[in-house]
Amino acid sequence: MSWFKREKKKIDTTEKKELPGELWQKCPSCGDILYRKDLAAKQWICPKCAYHFRVGTEDYLEILLDSGTFREYDADLESEDPLGFVDSKPYPRRIEEYRERTGRNDAVVCGIGAIDGVEVSFAVMDFGFMGGSMGSVVGEKVARAIERALQREAPLVVVSASGGARMQEGVLSLMQMAKTSSLLAALDSARIPFVAIDTDPTTGGVTASYAMLGDVIYAEPKAQIGFAGPRVIKQTIGEDLPEEFQTAEFLLEHGFVDRVVSRADLKRTVSRTLRWMPGLEAPTEES
């Protein structure tokens, strides 16, 4: 009966084990279990169903720009607290937490880079920083990116990912819509190309301004793009919404975007677009 008196061995929990979740990722579309390293190598596109996982700012810099060409501008701009806003915590404390989490001061990265040798003024939003919300700093940095495009006579490329205007800054946030839109009108008058790339999600005041004002508007597959959310719209109009409402494909069908482009084809598509636009060399058969 020695087995009956066997002592239970204590499990050592002090050593941290690598969890399966750190190695594998479940696709929310098809349910396939994917090896994260392979998924990253495929630009976070599911090889089975082509679902596009959300990716970060650094990923888009690598996907779209030529290696080693990006020079960041205005990284030191920081948000103020003009309203003394407090919800569950003061606005400055919330901002500080996101700075520590993301390593940047606000929800957009702007600078100069090149796409297949063509210099561009480039901006990419960071949804990981307060949901990519647009406050005074985001609006100012995008405005300066537009001004750099004007000064250098270089095309503007903006990658949007946002939950909309930042409520903690009230009307000062909403003013960024008008500021960026008026500068884009000047860019249009100067016949300098602007390519807007809308990713998941692109909503609120960002959609109502620069995200939908491109000379060409591209969207990633299945990206949610719209102003108010579907639930708010349904409650307002009192009607059921069409299937796949506010998806990139729905907007393409109704003429709000020019093309739905896989992330794997994004750089090549933008490159060819820029070379066909006024003032730039047309593409050769090889490009």
In a domain, 285, yes or no: no
Looking at the structure, tell me whether residues 36 and 67 fall in a common domain: no
Q: Is residue 153 a contact partner of residue 142, using CB atoms and an 8 Å limit?
A: no
Full residue range of the structural domain in which residue 81 is found: 54-276
Looking at the structure, tell me whether residues 43 and 105 fall in a common domain: no
In a domain, 84, yes or no: yes
* 102-161 tens-digit pLDDT: 999 999 999 999 999 999 999 999 999 999 999 999 999 999 999 999 999 999 999 999
* 26-49 tens-digit pLDDT: 999 999 999 999 999 999 999 999
In a domain, 10, yes or no: no
Q: Is 67 exposed, middle or buried (0-12, 13-18, 19+ CB in 10 A)?
A: exposed
Residue 279 confidence (pLDDT): 56
Can you tell me the distance from the alpha carbon of 217 to that of 206, in angstroms, rounded to the nearest whole number?
Answer: 14
| Count of Cβ atoms closer than 10 Å to residue 241 Cβ | 13
In a domain, 105, yes or no: yes
Looking at the structure, tell me whether residues 21 and 156 fall in a common domain: no
Residue 231 confidence (pLDDT): 86
* 202-227 tens-digit pLDDT: 999 999 999 999 999 999 999 999 99
Can you tell me the distance from the alpha carbon of 223 to that of 229, in angstroms, rounded to the nearest whole number?
Answer: 13
In the chain, % of residues over pLDDT 90: 83
